[in-house]
Amino acid sequence: MPCYPRCCTIGAAVGLGALLVAGASRADTFHYRDAGGKSVELEASLVGFDQAVYILETADGRYHLVPRAAAEKRVASPGPTPLDGTAMAGRLREEFTAERFRSYLQDPFVIGLVLGSPLPKTSEGAAKAFLRDAGAFMKNVEAAFVRYVREARIEAPPPAHPVIVLIFETKDDFVKYASAATSRDEEFTRHVAGFYSKLTNILAIRLEECRTYETPLHEAIHQQVYVRKIFQRLAPIPTWFDEGLATGFEANAGKINVGPGKVSVRYANQALQAAQVGWEHLLAGDDPFHTPALVDDAYGQAWGLHWLLVTRYRNEYPAYLRLLGQKKPLEDDEPAQRQADFRQAFGDKLAEMQTHFRPSLDAACRKQNVILKPPERKGISLTEENLGRVQLTAVRHRTSGPGGLMGDRLEVQGTLTNLSPLRPMAFLVIVETDAATYADWCVPRLEALKSTPLPPQNVVKSMDIDAAAAATVAAVRGLGQGPQTFRVCIRSAPADSEEAQRWSSGQYPKPVFGATRE
């Protein structure tokens, strides 16, 4: 996903431009006016620019995009000295408040936990243990990435700043932070599980993603690529390469068990099933990654192309990495330039590569004892959201008589798991159907990482109906049929919260058919 806002500015370059060549690598004090016209003084290093903006890096490793028209002057100064881990943790504590922030330092990492509400003293030990585990995982990521760098025969200096990972306990806090960091609206970030921002240099993830660490690993690889300066942040790196590299690593419960040279069952299957996106489309541009109908094909093909390059073109691969590493921040490569870069490193061999891919993949599967078989569907619904995991089975009961269909109902039951490693949670689980009926369970307290059964229920309670959806419901009910589809919604709150108490007393909103789901 894009990790930085697009800046539109008006006006000619002033002040900083004349000094750029002479002092591009040194740190100075910059004076400019913000969007509200307020004068700002910032101690930073000038790391790049284009016709519209300057990129300034501060002591915490963040990039600040300053419109050239807003720049006033640049004064030589000795700073800024990069913050160490302790100072960085202190800044984050100020940002999120001491009451709602916990941190753990595992050099070079600063692992931050952003709490949704104050943590009971009885849960402090669990929070410390979780942060230690997260720190150990990030060190495993670092070790795996260093192995990749060594095998690829490329240079990768250690990070110049603390490597920050923020883990958000609640979905709402994550969504607000993600929207502010990426300049995307909350409707978009509500569907994001984690991201690395090339502007802030921070990896942010939801707490519930730390069960398997699949998303944290993917985003952490992106972070390693840029904090170790394999590529320059905000440079025009082809998305297929960025994502192809990250998809080469996989994790299971914190263990990193696949690297870029190994076959990923998930992405290999996606590559083989891709029908709308070819490698030539990836080289031409990034559009497939931003088109919902094409994104699965794009990620699968990105993995496939990168895997082939790293395994069969080992001499050319480092040269391509170095070529991409020379790209400057805010440059804009046209499709022709991207294709020329690829040919410069690998020759005009794309068609040949596509021919070799399947035989090479089959040979690697035999050597690695990998079976490329998509996972079987077991007729079980699995939903994970808001720190809850619901495994649900549904059985449709239909009875007929002399007059035809007499009864049509859906029976559901399952298991709820509290994914929070920190504290007991209260849960509200609702099953909604396309016939505007629902069933619900309220679990007032479920201990951390524990499970409880959801007893069988018939999905027969009537939902309220949004006016715009009334015709749809009338059509379904007019056919005399029961529900055809359903979805599971999970809400959670700390077990000792006022919201949990309201749920326990039966005070929770009735679901509305046709309403936008949060």
CA angle 247/150/322 to nearest 5° reads 75
pLDDT band at 258 (very low <50, low <70, confident <90, very high): confident
Contact 147, 315 (CB under 8 A): no
Omega into 80 within 30° of 0, i.e. cis? Answer: yes
**Upper half-sphere CA count for residue 384 (Cβ side, 13 Å):** 12
Query: Hey, which of 11-15, 299-303, 406-410, 484-488 has the most confident mean pLDDT?
Result: 299-303
> Between these two residues, 375 and 497, which has the higher pLDDT value?
497
pLDDT at 34 over 70: yes
| DSSP 3-state of 302 | helix
pLDDT at 125 over 60: yes
pLDDT at 379: 65
pLDDT at 228: 97
Q: Does domain 84-230 have CATH number 3.30.1560?
A: no
The pLDDT tens digits of the residues spanning 188-219 come to 999 999 999 999 999 999 999 998 899 999 99
pLDDT at 411 over 50: yes
Distance CA 366, CA 76 (A): 61
pLDDT band at 514 (very low <50, low <70, confident <90, very high): confident
Between 3.30.70, 1.20.120, 2.60.40, 3.40.1560, what CATH number should domain 381-513 receive? 2.60.40
pLDDT band at 117 (very low <50, low <70, confident <90, very high): very high
Q: If you average pLDDT over residues 173-179, what whole number do you get?
A: 97
pLDDT band at 417 (very low <50, low <70, confident <90, very high): very high
Distance CA 446, CA 424 (A): 5
Report residue 518 as tokens. 């949060």
pLDDT at 163 over 60: yes
Q: Residues 115-124: contacts with CB within 8 Å, 24+ apart?
A: 115/169, 115/422, 116/168, 116/169, 116/170, 116/172, 116/173, 116/494, 117/494, 117/497, 119/422, 119/423, 120/423, 120/496, 123/422, 123/423, 123/448
Distance CA 239, CA 321 (A): 14
The percent of residues above 90 in pLDDT, for the chain, comes to 77
pLDDT at 51: 87
pLDDT at 252 over 70: no
pLDDT at 386: 95
pLDDT at 19 over 60: no
Q: If you average pLDDT over residues 463-478, what whole number do you get?
A: 72
pLDDT at 3: 38
* β-strand partners of 453: 415
The pLDDT tens digits of the residues spanning 63-116 come to 999 999 999 999 988 778 999 999 999 999 999 999 999 999 999 999 999 999
pLDDT at 14 over 60: no
pLDDT at 399 over 80: no
pLDDT at 22 over 70: no
| DSSP 3-state of 346 | helix
pLDDT at 10: 23
CA distances to 107, 148, 248, 272, 366 from 300, rounded to whole Å, are: 34, 20, 11, 8, 20
Query: Hey, which of 254-268, 367-381, 429-443 has the most confident mean pLDDT?
Result: 429-443
Classify 129 in phi/psi space as left (phi over 0), alpha (psi -120 to 50) or beta.
Answer: alpha
Query: Hey, which of 6-15, 238-247, 390-399, 428-437 has the most confident mean pLDDT?
Result: 238-247
pLDDT at 356 over 80: yes
The pLDDT tens digits of the residues spanning 317-332 come to 999 999 999 999 999 9
DSSP notation for 382-420: EEEETTEEEEEEEEEEEEEETTEEEEEEEEEEEEEEE--
Contact 302, 288 (CB under 8 A): no
Q: How is domain 17-76 classified at the architecture level of CATH?
A: Roll (2.30)
Domain-wise residue ranges, the chain: 17-76, 84-230, 232-375, 381-513
pLDDT at 250: 81
Mean of the per-residue pLDDT values of the chain: 89
pLDDT band at 269 (very low <50, low <70, confident <90, very high): very high
Among the listed residues 291, 254, 247, the one whose alpha carbon sits nearest the alpha carbon of residue 269: 247
pLDDT at 508 over 70: yes
**Residue 149 belongs to what H/E stretch?**
helix 124-152
pLDDT at 489: 95
pLDDT at 15: 37
Classify 224 in phi/psi space as left (phi over 0), alpha (psi -120 to 50) or beta.
Answer: alpha
User: Do 17-76 and 84-230 show the same overall fold?
Assistant: no
Distance CA 134, CA 146 (A): 18
CA distances to 142, 168, 197, 454 from 102, rounded to whole Å, are: 22, 11, 21, 33
